[in-house]
Structure formats: structure tokens, C-alpha cells
């Protein structure tokens, strides 16, 4: 099927809360484990683009006592939730939560040892915005880890994935998940994006619905 765009920013408070309360612990932890096992040297200054409620970055901060994370999201509702999550975790001195939008983040160029993003790519009408921002924000040799959904072949396939993975989830969350699957890219499309922007990253399919795009900046 063709890509069907969903609203870019998760601005709705009820939608954001349903997302924040959902149990994404398995994919969140697998992303963090991947970041930690990827051999790119010390992670001191890290940015997470599209941090949502910050559940993922709290896990990363739990595992890395020396890390400093800049977590940005375009949604005021998500940033509000992220602030609460970070304060509850006790990591507020190491995780800065900022409302910000890509493109156009007012952050210094090439200031980060790693650029991370989980489940943001499929929200973007123009995916090149993320790849350009990664090139602008990461230093030479910075680690890049982007995890996102893979668009299924048909709407029925998307429906089946939602039914399998989230049978008892909140209605808002199920609709959100379905919309996200339909808005996601295929691995071939992401490959073409990386070639267009000249980023030497590797794409790996990690489940029936997830891909992981990783590497270091030249």
C-alpha cells in the first residue's frame, strides 16, 4: 500500500497520555540495549529527537551514570509528560527536556556523541528532515540509532499486526498504532533516503514491524 500520513505532532493531551501509559517496555528496552552494545566509545552528550514521554531516555539514563541527554519533542503535551517522567526518575540533572521541532532546532552543530530517535520517522511528512538534522547535530564519528516501524504490504496486514500486538489496548492507542503502521516507510524507501543524503548507515529488520538504522557519522 502507499504511505498514508498521520498527524505529525502528537499534540492531543489524551492521545499523548494514552501513549505515555502504554506498555512499550520490550521495544523500548531493546532499543536501549542496542545503543549500549553498539561499540562507538563513551556516550556523554546524546540527543533524542521526538522523545515523547521520555520513557526510553529514562531507561538509558538508568543504565549510563555519566550520560547527559537532550530530549526534544514538538508536542507541548508530550513535553509536559516527559518532564514528569524525568522528575519521577530523579534524572533531571542529566536529562534536559526541551520543546523543539525539526527542522530548525536551536542547538549547536556537531555537538553530540550520539543522535537517537525512536518511532519518530514515520511521523514526518518529509523524512529527509530527520537525516539532515542527524548530520547537523552529530559530531564526526557520532553514533546514530533510529528505530521505526515498517509499513506492511496492505491495510489488512496493518490491522492484523494491531490485533496481534495490542488486542486489549486502549482504543486511541490501537487507532494510533494502525495509523503509524500505515504512515511508516519500507526498508527499501529508507535505503533510498540514506543514499540520497549520503549517510552510510545499516538497516536491520528486528521484528515483523520494526527496523533499526544504525552506524556512525562520517
Strands 95-99 and 202-205: unpaired
**Which of 6, 15, 18, 50 contacts ligand SAM by CB under 6 A?**
50
Residue 79 interacting with ligand SAM (CB under 6 A): no
Residue 75 interacting with ligand SAM (CB under 6 A): yes
- CB of 38 or CB of 101, closer to ligand SAM: 101
The CB-side HSE value for 172 (13 A sphere, CA atoms) comes to 12
**Which of 32, 35, 46, 51 contacts ligand SAM by CB under 6 A?**
51
Number of residues written out for the chain:
218
* Least distance between ligand SAM and beta carbon 16 (Å): 7
**Which of 59, 68, 91, 123 contacts ligand SAM by CB under 6 A?**
123
Residue 70 interacting with ligand SAM (CB under 6 A): no
Give the separation between CA 137 and CA 100, rounded to whole angstroms. Answer: 14
Residue 52 interacting with ligand SAM (CB under 6 A): yes
Residue 206: all three cell numbers together: 528486528
- CB of 74 or CB of 138, closer to ligand SAM: 74
Beta strands in the chain (DSSP E): 45-49, 68-73, 95-99, 112-118, 138-149, 202-205, 210-216
* Least distance between ligand SAM and beta carbon 10 (Å): 4
* Least distance between ligand SAM and beta carbon 145 (Å): 12
Residue 166 interacting with ligand SAM (CB under 6 A): no
Q: Are 215 and 150 in contact (CB under 8 A)?
A: no
7-18 burial, b at 16+ Cβ within 10 Å, e below that, comes to ebebeeeebbbb
Binding residues for ligand SAM (CB under 6 A): 8-10, 50-52, 55-56, 73-75, 78, 101-102, 118-120, 123-124
Amino acid at each position: 500500500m502507499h504511505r498514508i500520513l498521520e498527524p505529525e505532532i502528537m499534540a492531543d493531551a489524551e492521545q499523548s497520555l494514552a501513549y505515555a501509559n502504554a506498555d512499550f517496555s520490550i521495544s523500548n528496552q531493546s532499543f536501549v540495549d542496542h545503543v549500549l552494545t553498539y561499540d562507538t566509545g563513551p556516550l556523554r552528550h546524546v540527543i533524542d529527537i521526538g522523545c515523547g514521554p521520555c520513557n526510553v531516555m529514562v531507561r538509558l539514563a538508568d543504565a549510563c551514570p555519566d550520560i547527559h541527554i537532550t530530549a526534544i519533542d514538538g508536542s507541548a503535551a508530550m513535553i509536559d509528560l516527559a518532564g514528569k517522567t524525568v522528575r519521577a526518575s530523579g534524572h533531571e540533572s542529566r536529562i534536559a527536556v526541551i520543546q523543539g521541532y525539526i527542522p530548525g532546532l536551536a542547538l549547536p552543530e556537531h555537538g553530540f556523541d550520539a543522535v537517537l530517535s525512536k518511532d519518530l520517522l514515520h511521523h514526518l511528512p518529509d523524512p529527509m528532515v530527520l537525516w539532515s538534522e542527524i548530520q547537523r547535530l552529530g559530531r564526526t564519528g557520532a553514533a546514530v540509532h533510529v528505530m521505526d516501524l515498517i509499513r506492511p504490504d496492505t491495510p489488512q496486514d496493518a490491522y492484523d499486526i494491531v490485533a496481534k500486538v495490542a488486542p486489549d489496548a486502549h482504543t486511541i492507542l490501537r487507532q494510533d498504532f494502525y495509523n503509524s503502521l500505515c504512515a511508516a516507510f519500507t526498508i527499501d524507501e529508507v535505503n533510498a533516503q540514506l543514499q540520497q543524503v549520503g549517510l552510510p548507515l545499516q538497516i536491520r529488520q528486528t521484528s515483523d514491524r520494526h527496523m533499526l538504522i544504525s552506524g556512525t557519522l562520517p
